[in-house]
Amino acid sequence: MIHRPEFSPEYYQKSLDILETSLKNLDAYRSWRAFDPGNSHSVDERYAALPALTKDDIRQYFPKGFVPPVKDIEAGLKNGEIHYVNTSGTSDAFRVTNIWNQEWWDASERASWQFNSHALRFATGEHPEAILANARNVGFISDTADLPFEKRRLSRFLYLNEKTEPSQWSAAIMDRMIKELDIFKPAVLEANPSLLAKLCRYAATKKEKVFQPGLITLTYEYPSKLQYKQIQRVFTSPIASSYGTTETGYVFMQCEAGKFHQNSQFCRVDFQPLARKHGGPDICRMLVTTFDNPWYYMLRFDVGDFARLDREQKCTCGKNSGFIVDAMEGRWTNVTLTCDGKLVTLRRLDDALGELDNIDEYRLEQPSIGVYTLYLVSQCQDREKLNEKVKEVLRSVYGEKAEISIEYRDFLSPEDSGKYCLAKALFPMSIANYLDMK
């Protein structure tokens, strides 16, 4: 049984305020009124009775359906208080336009720092920060020409990469990144784990000494065990994974003890467990409700990710307010199925493959039940031996009858979103079939 943490009266008041404002005043939630059991029930019971907000809902009701009547969207856009941003989903089905309020976003980020002692020390809000991300996600895009240092600066930020296809990084580009880290000396390095791992493989091969920031935060993608290994060959800096979305701001922050803490000042999180045979009740879908965003009311938004809840809801770091998560399990879009139809989260697959040596990158695709293709980037000379080890590991996850093909590539490209995909099923699935619907 998973213990529920204690929440402050303020947390429940915020939960109640956004619930009632949304149901009474916003078109996006008008049909939800029929599900609400009313104020004779607890706030938690009322939330549990409601549907989940999907990206299809956002497309249908955006923007007015999510903005309270007291706000003038056109005025907010004109004065720069808000603007529209597009998320970088893996396909058109996952892309969506949202309202962006920078002031709220920054406040949400600052609140998340309290859960990591290294962030509290080095992230002041005015600290120099280097960002290593796909230019499709953040920064400046320039695929045809290399941008000079001053063209990749913005306020206190330095964007190390201007390319959308990391396979096109030349040795000169990576040498430049290493040099600029030493020149800029960021207090914090924020990075796509896939891109930082790529840079680290290069630096390790060249035996390059790299500047050590006060903290490395991994964002944008699921950080794999292999990527952690590659990064830690080069960096001794503390590493923390920060979890959030464009719609919901900063939701969880990883503490120095390795667990994830809910940013409960800025969001509510409701958990829907998977059915027991698929990993429940520990592994849950996350539905996030935002607090204090005056422009954009997200109520029980399905962020598309799974988390593994800490059963005791305690952490050795001493921070025990809000939900505590042992691990992020990966996105719904990255789940696969065993030969007998059981759900495999990305974390379960990655934990298994992460124990192997001689793999730089991987992507697993499942075209049908019981059939798997693993794409590998590896410098290993004895591929036959590596293939045997890989198949043994994959069959321990998917079953002895798994049909496994292994294909080697010189590099793996990111999705159209700019993010790397580590695993995916190539056939449709409905999450409703895997949740515990009791």
What average pLDDT does this structure show over 259-284?
Answer: 97
pLDDT at position 205: 96
pLDDT at position 16: 98
Tens digit of each residue's pLDDT (9 = 90 or more) over 396-415? 999 999 999 999 999 999 99
For residue 150, count CB atoms less than 10 angstroms from its CB and return exposed for 0-12, middle for 13-18, buried for 19 or more: exposed
Tens digit of each residue's pLDDT (9 = 90 or more) over 162-188? 999 999 999 999 999 999 999 999 999
Q: How confident is the model at residue 320 (pLDDT cuts 50, 70, 90)?
A: confident
Share of the chain above pLDDT 70, in %: 98
Tens digit of each residue's pLDDT (9 = 90 or more) over 132-166? 999 999 999 999 999 999 999 999 999 999 999 99
pLDDT of 302 higher than 80? yes
pTM: 0.95
Q: Which fold has domain 336-433?
A: GMP Synthetase; Chain A, domain 3 (3.30.300)
Return residue ranges of the chain for CATH 3.30.300.30. Answer: 336-433
Tens digit of each residue's pLDDT (9 = 90 or more) over 96-131? 999 999 999 999 999 999 999 999 999 998 999 999
What is the H or E stretch that residue 225 is in?
A: helix 225-232
Return residue ranges of the chain for CATH 3.40.50.12780. Answer: 1-332
pLDDT of 258 higher than 60? yes
The mean predicted confidence, pLDDT, of the chain is 95
> 88-93: long-range contacts (C-beta < 8 A, 24 or more apart)?
88/136, 88/137, 88/417, 88/418, 88/419, 89/55, 89/417, 90/333, 90/415, 90/416, 90/417, 90/419, 90/421, 91/415, 91/416, 93/55
What is 1-332's CATH number? 3.40.50.12780
CB atoms within 10 A of CB 23: 18
- Residue of 98, 17, 18, 15 lying closest to 57 (CA atoms): 98
